[in-house]
Structures are given as structure tokens and as C-alpha cells.
């Protein structure tokens, strides 16, 4: 297309004479037009510690509700000499909707005073923050808490304190705030089945502040903080670590030290057992704590903690203090990775697998939720909403239910069977609805120095060590230390939606070992996509309050921590499970010695056998939807 010389001449003349052209306003300019911006407010706690808080509220004298986000992460407006717009975009959106938006750092983080401890800071901090906010003249006395991951995980335990201003919750990907819920003893995702989840090793490297790091003077004034925040945001710069290599270091307790990482709480946490009394102090929510708040819970299938998260939803819905709270619990389960709800597209990819159009109008849902509980405005969005909205992969559609698992699901037993050689996908392992005709066993050697590598999965926060999502497991299934049990091709499609239970019968020549399991959707062309996975450290098979070692050759029933999914296995597909003793570095390696594991550098090879048939009915219970 030819340019217009007359237009170009006029444009150049205007530039020469300094004629200004309209430019898009910055987010801070937009905020300052409609909001009172009050940054680095040092909010006092009952013990005198002050927490750095940014407040954005609509101009005018009318009291407004508050959306409150509390986080260990850096939300400073400035970083590396540039404006950080992400947090301010949230503030702008909520102010436009008629809310004050308040974001606060946990104690000991960045500009906040005090000592930080992951979910170990006093519960009173959250309570005191609500007390302070609710008494401000610009507050209508209603506060809703909102956040994903570490900005969500503190909400449940603080809700148990029942501050009257805390009107509603929206926790998203909140697993690290769940301590003990029924049979789940994950203690904030630190464990799965008694094995350490290594995500916290990598996460704490980049999160915990070294106690020797420089700090601002206690009692510093707001005017000085406003000046300092523009060129000094208190955020340390951590050297990048190749966690594929870094997490392989032994002993486990020295991993962060080995990469010259910050000193902190990791070295103490890694020594705790799953029922250590320290897990019951601080910010984790446990099932003996009261709960009486309307809540909208967001979970995702490929997150690190879908099962305990859903279990918490069920627990609150059944055990909340009041009927009002019991009747106002809602759940969304999306087919995405950790905190990736809004990244769903018309063709949502979870790793290598497409699940089609998985979009959902999260903004509309959350806004309607807070409008109801913080403003008293009823909308059809909430009144017509099902209690549970879940996405079924395979059929690639959103579905709804009044309960989870859906009432139409029936627990259906499939048994492990083989002719004694289920090793690899080329073996003779089968998954069948009929009990095995005779007793048999499949044996493999588990070498902790050559563990089964994590490939895809339901993960978070491990840097480059593990990539989350569904990946074709075929190549992995050629390892001799993976037992593979596959059903025949399905004669008609089958939907599995709910918790998946599994019982495996194990013998070993080691004092202690692990058992791992994966649930797989096998396509007619052989592609094998992982759906969920779990692990059980065998020393905790009788409970997490004691360790019981194995005797050589004796057969033990191992009940696995439940998995969960919603997946449609199309006609011609097969259902498969993999069984092994490692899934590393998703979970730490059991060194098979029966020792502490966290302080050991050498392991022993375990000869492990899975028994099936006779009295040892190794099996998996699948929640199959009735037609």
C-alpha cells in the first residue's frame, strides 16, 4: 500500500511544533483518578510487629467492602527501577467494582517486620489485620479474602478464628494450607503418604529470607518507606539453580546448603515426621478446627494437591458450624496446572494432551460471590450455580453435580493380575474386573540411586526438575522397575469421576521402601497419558503417628493415599496403572535403610514384589459413572 506524502508532511510538522498526541494512561494514573492510593501502611499487630500493607480504595466518603490479599510474595509497586503493574491491575479492577483492595506481606517478608515462618506466623496476624481494616472509616465492615497458592493457603486457619468482618473466602490452589484432613496427612503438601514432596526444597530456596540478610530499622516511618520502595524493594536476587541436578544431592537435608542457598527453616522442617506437633502450630488448617464461613474453592486436576483440597471442601460442607456455612460451599475443579485457571483457552493443553475448550468465566463468578457476601447484592450467577463444577477430560466438557464425587459414580473394583512378569508395558500385567484365578507376584529391584524419574504429573514449584501435566508415558514404561497393568480395550466409553482408592500387597527384603502408583489413559495408538499419581512410605502403613518396619519376605497390605480425577476413557481406550517404588524428584527417594532418610547419603537396593490373587487381592477402586 502506498503512503500518503501529504499526511506524512502534516504529521512531521505537528511533531516539530510540539503538538501532543494522546497516549494510553498508565495503570497508576488510572488508579489515582478513581482511587485513594495509600502504600506502605505499617499495620500494627497485637505484639507490636507491623506488617507492610498497600491500600487502594475508591474516592469519596462512602464505606466500601474490602478484598484482602495476604502474601509472602513481593508486591512492591517498583522493581528493578520499573513499575510493577500486575498487582496494581488487580487493584484497579476491584476499585472499579466498588471495593477497597488491600494487599499485605506476611510478617518477616520484604517491608514487613518480624520473623517469617512458612504458615508458622501467628494466626492472630490475620485476625488483627481484619480487626484494623474493619474499624477504618472507609470500611463497611465486610472483608473477603482472595488469592491463589501462598496467597490462599493462610485463609482457612484464619477463618477458624471467626472474625465477624470475615464475610467470605475464595481460596485457589490452597493445598499448602491443608494440614490433616481425614486420611490425608500432607501437612501443607510437605508429605504425600509419608514421603516428602520435594517441591518445598526448591520453593524455600527462593522464598526463605536468610536471617543474616540486611533489614530496615524497626519503626521506620511510612514516608521513608515510600521513598525507599522506588529503588530498594527488599527482594533478594537468588542465583538460578538447575534443580534437575540440585534435587539429586544427598543427604536431602543439605540440598539448599549445597547450592549456597539461604539459611532458613528448611533444615528444621525436613527433620519432622508427618505427625510432628509443630505441624499443629501456626497457620495450617486441621480437621479439628471450627469453620463457619461461606467459601468458593478452586482446585485443578494437575495441581499438587487436588485430593486433599477436595477432601477439605467435603469436610467443611459437612462439618461447618452453621447451616448457613454448610449450605454455602462451592467448588470448581479445572483441567489446568497450579494457579493456571485463567490460562485455559479454546484448545487447552495440559502438557502434551489437549482437553479442548476449558475456559470458565472466573472473573464473573468471583465478583458475583463477593457482591453477594460483601455488598448483599444477589445475582443469578450465584443463585443458579451448582455446588460443584468440574471438567471431564477426554469428553472435554464442564459438568456439574450437587456433591463430590457425583452421586452417579459407583466404586468399581479392578484387580491386578499377571503371569508373574508385569515388568514394562511389554509384560503380561493386566487390570481386570475378575479376581485372579491363582496367586502370583511381580518382582522388581528398586535402586534409589537410579530411581524412576518423574515425567509430567500433578506438580508445582519444582523449577526445571519436573514439568507438570499429561505426558505420554510409553518410553518410561520400558523400565524393568515399573510394573504395568492394563485393561483390555474398552467396548464402550467409561467416565471415571471421583476419588480413586487402591490397595497393594507388598513384600520386600528391605526394612522400609515406598510404593508408587499412576493412573493412565491409554489411547488406541499406544499413547499413555498420566491422570494422577500417589505414593505411600511403607513404614507409615499403620498410621502416621508411628513407624513400623517390614520383615523380610512378609506380605503387607498397603492402602494408598487416594487419587482423584474426572476423565472419560473413550471406546477403544484402555485403563492402566503403573506400580513402582519411586517417582523422583516429585517425591524424595526412600533409601530403603529404615533410617531417617533425610540425613543419609547412601541407600540399599530393595527387591520388592507386588502380590495378587489368593489372599493378596491387589486392586484399584474406580468411581465409574452410571449411565
As a dihedral over the C-alpha atoms of residue 537, residue 541, residue 542, residue 543, rounded to 10 degrees, the angle is 50
**565 inside domain:** yes
Supply the CATH number for residue 586's domain: 2.60.120.260
Q: pLDDT category, 82, cuts 50, 70, 90?
A: low
**173 inside domain:** no
**Whole-number Å distance between alpha carbons of 624 and 626:** 6
- The per-residue pLDDT of the chain, averaged, comes to 94
- The whole-number average pLDDT for the span 551-571 is 97
- The whole-number average pLDDT for the span 314-328 is 98
**45 inside domain:** no
For residue 334, pLDDT beyond 60: yes
Three-class secondary structure of residue 129 per DSSP = helix
Q: pLDDT category, 9, cuts 50, 70, 90?
A: low
Look at residue 83 in the predicted model and tell me its pLDDT: 58
**393 inside domain:** no
For residue 162, pLDDT beyond 80: yes
Q: What is the count of structural domains for the chain?
A: 1
φ, ψ for residue 258 (rounded to 5)?
Answer: -65, -25
For residue 556, pLDDT beyond 80: yes
Q: pLDDT category, 236, cuts 50, 70, 90?
A: confident
For residue 250, pLDDT beyond 80: yes
**613 inside domain:** yes
**276 inside domain:** no
Look at residue 80 in the predicted model and tell me its pLDDT: 57
User: Structural domain of residue 620, as residue ranges?
Assistant: 409-625
pTM: 0.94
Antiparallel, parallel or unpaired: β 556-559 and 563-569: unpaired
566 neighbors 331 (Cβ within 8 angstroms): no
Look at residue 81 in the predicted model and tell me its pLDDT: 53
Mark 361-384 as b/e (b = at least 16 C-beta within 10 Å): ebeebbbbbbbbbbbeeeeebbee
Look at residue 1 in the predicted model and tell me its pLDDT: 45
Look at residue 37 in the predicted model and tell me its pLDDT: 95
510 neighbors 592 (Cβ within 8 angstroms): yes
Look at residue 7 in the predicted model and tell me its pLDDT: 52
For residue 101, pLDDT beyond 90: yes
Find the length of the chain.
627
What pLDDT digit, counting tens, does each position of 110-152 carry?
A: 999 999 888 767 789 999 999 999 999 999 999 999 999 999 9
**438 inside domain:** yes
More confident of the two residues 627 and 105: 105
**Weakest mean pLDDT among 73-77, 321-325, 384-388:** 73-77
**472 inside domain:** yes
What pLDDT digit, counting tens, does each position of 498-523 carry?
A: 999 999 999 999 999 999 999 999 99
Look at residue 11 in the predicted model and tell me its pLDDT: 46
What pLDDT digit, counting tens, does each position of 472-499 carry?
A: 999 999 999 999 999 999 999 999 999 9
- The whole-number average pLDDT for the span 442-462 is 97
- The whole-number average pLDDT for the span 376-393 is 96
For the purposes of burial, counting CB atoms within 10 Å of the CB of 437, is it exposed (0-12), middle (13-18) or buried (19 or more)? exposed
- The whole-number average pLDDT for the span 302-317 is 97
- The whole-number average pLDDT for the span 374-403 is 97
Amino acid at each position: 500500500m502506498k503512503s500518503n506524502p501529504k499526511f506524512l508532511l502534516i504529521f512531521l510538522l505537528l511533531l516539530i511544533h510540539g503538538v501532543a498526541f494522546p497516549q494510553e494512561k498508565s495503570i497508576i494514573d488510572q488508579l489515582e483518578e478513581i482511587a485513594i492510593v495509600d502504600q506502605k501502611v505499617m499495620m500494627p499487630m497485637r505484639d507490636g510487629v507491623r506488617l507492610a500493607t498497600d491500600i487502594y480504595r475508591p474516592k469519596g466518603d462512602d464505606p466500601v467492602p474490602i478484598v484482602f490479599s495476604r502474601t509472602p510474595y513481593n508486591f512492591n509497586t517498583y522493581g528493578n527501577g520499573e513499575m510493577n503493574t500486575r498487582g496494581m491491575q488487580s487493584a484497579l479492577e476491584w476499585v472499579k467494582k466498588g471495593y477497597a483492595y488491600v494487599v499485605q506481606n506476611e510478617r518477616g517478608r520484604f517491608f514487613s517486620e518480624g520473623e517469617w515462618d512458612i504458615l508458622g506466623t501467628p494466626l492472630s496476624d490475620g485476625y488483627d489485620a481484619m480487626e484494623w481494616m474493619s474499624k477504618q472509616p472507609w470500611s463497611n465492615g465486610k472483608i473477603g479474602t482472595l488469592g491463589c497458592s501462598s496467597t490462599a493457603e493462610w485463609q482457612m486457619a484464619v477463618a477458624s478464628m471467626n472474625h465477624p468482618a470475615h464475610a467470605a473466602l475464595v481460596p485457589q490452589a490452597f493445598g499448602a494450607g491443608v494440614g490433616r484432613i481425614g486420611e490425608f496427612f500432607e501437612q501443607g503438601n510437605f508429605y504425600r503418604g509419608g514421603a516428602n514432596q520435594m517441591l518445598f526444597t526448591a520453593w524455600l530456596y527462593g522464598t526463605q529470607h536468610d536471617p543474616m540478610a540486611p533489614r530496615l530499622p524497626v519503626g521506620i516511618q511510612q514516608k521513608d518507606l515510600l521513598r525507599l520502595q522506588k529503588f530498594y524493594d527488599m527482594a533478594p536476587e537468588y542465583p538460578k539453580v538447575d534443580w534437575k541436578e540440585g534435587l539429586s544431592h544427598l543427604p536431602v537435608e543439605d540440598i539448599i546448603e549445597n547450592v549456597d542457598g539461604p539459611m532458613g527453616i528448611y533444615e528444621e522442617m525436613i527433620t519432622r515426621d508427618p505427625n510432628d506437633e509443630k505441624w499443629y502450630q501456626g497457620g495450617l488448617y486441621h480437621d479439628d478446627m471450627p469453620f463457619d464461613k461461606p467459601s468458593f474453592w478452586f482446585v485443578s486436576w494437575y495441581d499438587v494437591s487436588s485430593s486433599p483440597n477436595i477432601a477439605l471442601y467435603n469436610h467443611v460442607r459437612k462439618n461447618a458450624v452453621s447451616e448457613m456455612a454448610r449450605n454455602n460451599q462451592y467448588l470448581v475443579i479445572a483441567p489446568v496446572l497450579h494457579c493456571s485457571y485463567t490460562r485455559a483457552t479454546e484448545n487447552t493443553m495440559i502438557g502434551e494432551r489437549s482437553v479442548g475448550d476449558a475456559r470458565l468465566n472466573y472473573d464473573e463468578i468471583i465478583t458475583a460471590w463477593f457482591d453477594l457476601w460483601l455488598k448483599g447484592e444477589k445475582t443469578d450467577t450465584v443463585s443458579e450455580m451448582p455446588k460443584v463444577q468440574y471438567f471431564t477430560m477426554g469428553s472435554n466438557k464442564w459438568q456439574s453435580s450437587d456433591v463430590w464425587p457425583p452421586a452417579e459414580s459407583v466404586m468399581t473394583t479392578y484387580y491386578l493380575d499377571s503371569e508373574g512378569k508385569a515388568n514394562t508395558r511389554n509384560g503380561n500385567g493386566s487390570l481386570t474386573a475378575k479376581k485372579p484365578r491363582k496367586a502370583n507376584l511381580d518382582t522388581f529391584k528398586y535402586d534409589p540411586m537410579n530411581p524412576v524419574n518423574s515425567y509430567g504429573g500433578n506438580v508445582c514449584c519444582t523449577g526445571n526438575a519436573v514439568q507438570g501435566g499429561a505426558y505420554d508415558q510409553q518410553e518410561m514404561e520400558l523400565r524393568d522397575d515399573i510394573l504395568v497393568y492394563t485393561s483390555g480395550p474398552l467396548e464402550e466409553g467409561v467416565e471415571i469421576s471421583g476419588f480413586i482408592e487402591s490397595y497393594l500387597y507388598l513384600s520386600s527384603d528391605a526394612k522400609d521402601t515406598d510404593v508408587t502408583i499412576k493412573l493412565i489413559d491409554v489411547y488406541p495408538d499406544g499413547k499413555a497419558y498420566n491422570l494422577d499419581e500417589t505414593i505411600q512410605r511403607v513404614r507409615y502403613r499403620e498410621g502416621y503417628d508411628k513407624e513400623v518396619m517390614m520383615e523380610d519376605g512378609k506380605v503387607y497390605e498397603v492402602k494408598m493415599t487416594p487419587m482423584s480425577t474426572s476423565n472419560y476413557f473413550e471406546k477403544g481406550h484402555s485403563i492402566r496403572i503403573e506400580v513402582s517404588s519411586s517417582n523422583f524428584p516429585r517425591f524424595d527417594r526412600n533409601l530403603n535403610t529404615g533410617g531417617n532418610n533425610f540425613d543419609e547419603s547412601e541407600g540399599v537396593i530393595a527387591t520388592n514384589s507386588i502380590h495378587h490373587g489368593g489372599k493378596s487381592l491387589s486392586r484399584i477402586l474406580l468411581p465409574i459413572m452410571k449411565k
